[in-house]
Chains A and B, each alone.
Chain A
Amino acid sequence: MTTDSIRQTVLRVLGTIAPEVDPATLDPSAPFRNQLDLDSIDFLNFLIALRKELGVDVPERDYSQLGSLNACVEYLAAALRASQTDVR
Chain B
Amino acid sequence: MAEFLMPKLGADMTAGKLVAWRVKPGDVVSRGAIVAEVETDKGVIEVEIFSNGVIDKLLVEPGTVVPVGTPLATLREPIGAESPTERIPVPSPRVPVKDQPLAPAAPVPMNAPPRWRASPAARELARTLGIDLATVPGTGPDGAITRQDVQRATETAPPASATADRASRMRQAIAAAMTRSKREIPHYYLSTTIDLHNALTWLAQRNAARSVTERVLPGVLLLKAVALALREVPQFNALWTDGQAKPSEAIHLGVAISLRGGGLVAPAIHHTDQLSLDELMRKLTDLVNRARTGGLRSSEMADPTLTVTNLGDQGAESVFGVIYPPQVAIVGFGKIGERPWVVGGQVVPRSVLTATLSADHRVSDGHQGSLFLATVDQLLQEPDKL
Contacts and interface: CB of A to CB of B under 8 A. Distances in A.
Is B one of A's binding partners?
Answer: yes
Interface of A: 18-20, 37-41, 44-45, 47-48, 51, 57-61
A59 B208 contact: yes
Interface string B28-61: 0000000000000000000000000000000000
Nearest to B220: A40
A40 B215 CA distance: 12
A51 B211 contact: yes
A41 B217 contact: yes
A38 to B, nearest CB: 8
B260 A58 contact: no
B217 A44 contact: yes
Interface string B294-337: 00000000000000000001100000000000000000000000
A48 B213 contact: yes
A38 B261 CA distance: 13
Contacts of B213: 48, 51
B211 A45 contact: no
B313 A47 contact: no
B294 to A, nearest CB: 13
27 contacts: A18-B260, A19-B260, A20-B260, A20-B261, A37-B260, A38-B313, A39-B258, A39-B314, A40-B217, A40-B218, A40-B219, A40-B313, A41-B217, A41-B285, A41-B288, A44-B215, A44-B217, A45-B289, A48-B212, A51-B211, A51-B213, A57-B211, A57-B212, A58-B212, A59-B208, A60-B207, A60-B208
A83 to B, nearest CB: 15
Contacts, number: 41
B95 interface: no
A48 B218 CA distance: 17
A20 B160 CA distance: 10
Contacts of B204: 60-61
B128 interface: yes
Contacts of B314: 39
Contacts of A41: 217, 284-285, 288-289
A38 B260 CA distance: 10
Interface in B274-291: 284-285, 288-289
A66 B40 CA distance: 38
A67 to B, nearest CB: 14
A61 B204 CA distance: 8
Contact of A44 (B208, B261, B285): B285
